[in-house]
């Protein structure tokens, strides 16, 4: 389910979430209450914890066009003063929008995660489209492995293969050096996560 608020991203009144609990978890008041509560919890920590937001494709019960991360723009603006980092997960087929949001908002990061495991031989192309706009220091790598432990291994292998293919193309075109490729690989596969999550 996409947690995209459909109305203005104002903090709900203290009484309104209680009334919404009797409905399904699609109620915009309840969703806004949960999102702002999560932001408050992340902001309360000495080192601000990132808030992960699932966007784009995923579960079969979502309506894909309502999972476009660009729809989160009013919410992102509303919570920007808190300094809480927001991580846009997956985002496909809206990965370019996620890259754009990471470019224009200082607290937004993106992690294609599940996307590259599902795009197969086009994974390098999709990753390249994300990196057209997303700053290299704000892109993370994950597998979104679940269920079988082997999915973590195959997801990591697919990410490494896609990134190596993409960087090989960039080097062949003269867009970066081998040293640049090594630095970008270290950033995206490990260093960005270490900084963001305080690892």
23 phi/psi in degrees, rounded to 5? -105, 175
Beta-strand (E) ranges in the chain?
51-55, 86-90, 108-111
Compute CA 71 distance to the chain's CA centroid, rounded to the nearest angstrom.
13
CATH superfamily of 47-197: Metal-dependent hydrolases (3.20.20.140)
Give every residue of the chain whose pLDDT is below 70, as ranges.
1-8, 15-24
In this predicted structure, what is the pLDDT of residue 1?
Answer: 44
What's residue 18's pLDDT? 65
| DSSP H or E stretch at residue 109 | strand 108-111
Q: Record the pTM.
A: 0.85
């Amino acid at each position: 389910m996409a947690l995209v608020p459909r109305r203005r991203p104002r903090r709900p009144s203290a009484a309104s979430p209680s009334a919404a609990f009797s409905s399904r978890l699609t109620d915009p008041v309840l969703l806004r209450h949960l999102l702002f509560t999560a932001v408050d919890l992340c902001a309360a920590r000495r080192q601000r914890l990132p808030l992960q937001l699932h966007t784009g494709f995923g579960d079969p019960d979502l309506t894909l066009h309502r999972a476009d991360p660009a729809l989160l723009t009013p919410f992102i603006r509303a919570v920007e003063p808190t300094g809480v980092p927001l991580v846009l997960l997956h985002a496909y087929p809206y990965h370019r929008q996620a890259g754009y949001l990471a470019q224009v908002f200082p607290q937004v990061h993106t992690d294609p995660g599940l996307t590259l495991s599902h795009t197969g031989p086009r994974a390098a192309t999709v990753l390249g489209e994300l990196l057209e706009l997303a700053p290299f220091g704000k892109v993370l790598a994950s597998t979104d492995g679940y269920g079988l432990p082997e999915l973590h291994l195959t997801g990591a292998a697919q990410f490494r293969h896609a990134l190596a293919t993409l960087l090989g193309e960039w080097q062949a075109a003269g867009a970066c050096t081998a040293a640049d490729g090594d630095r970008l690989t270290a950033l995206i596969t490990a260093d960005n996560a270490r900084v963001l999550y305080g690892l």
